[in-house]
């Protein structure tokens, strides 16, 4: 078993937000489904946390807007800060969040976390650093 070098509270917050959004997305579906998978990419350089749901999905022209502050589809129930904050946390780790979605079918959010610091090549847990780097191309 390998340890993911990260701020566990920050990553917990980001994953919890994505899962909470997925549960909200399936709330009115006749057969709601939310799934989560955590895996180490084959080269061992990245951890992926994948959250899928069969909610209403996100139209293509709104996919990037959901990561902007104060954009929410939840009305008074949402602040529009969860996804921007989650993306900020992942990017501070040198990773990112990407979304794939099909309207009326559901969404897939992939959180990628590097296993090493982009600055030193050392484990983040040994340096205590949380670097600000350009997100990887996915």
**pLDDT classification of 110: cutoffs 50, 70, 90:** very high
Q: Pick the more confident residue, 7 or 30.
A: 30
Say which CATH number the domain at 47 has.
3.30.565.10
Q: Of 12-21, 80-89, 111-120, give the range with the top mean pLDDT.
A: 12-21
Q: What is the span of the domain harbouring residue 50?
A: 8-115
Q: Who contacts 98 (Cβ-Cβ below 8 Å, separation ≥6)?
A: 109, 110, 112, 138
Euclidean distance between CA atoms 8 and 10, whole angstroms:
5
pTM as predicted: 0.78
Number of domains comprising the chain: 1
């Amino acid at each position: 078993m390998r340890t993911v070098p990260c701020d566990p509270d920050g990553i917990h917050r980001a994953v919890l937000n994505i899962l909470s959004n997925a549960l909200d997305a399936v709330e009115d579906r006749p057969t709601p489904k939310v799934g989560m998978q955590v895996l180490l990419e084959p080269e061992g350089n990245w951890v992926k946390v994948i959250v899928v749901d069969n909610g209403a999905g996100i139209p293509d022209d709104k996919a990037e807007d959901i990561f902007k502050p104060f954009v929410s589809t939840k009305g008074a129930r949402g602040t529009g800060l969860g996804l921007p904050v989650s993306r900020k946390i992942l990017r501070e780790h040198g990773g990112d969040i990407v979304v794939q979605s099909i309207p009326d079918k559901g969404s897939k959010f992939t959180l990628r976390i590097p296993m090493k610091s982009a600055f030193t090549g050392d484990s983040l847990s040994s340096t205590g650093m949380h670097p600000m780097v350009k997100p990887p191309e996915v």
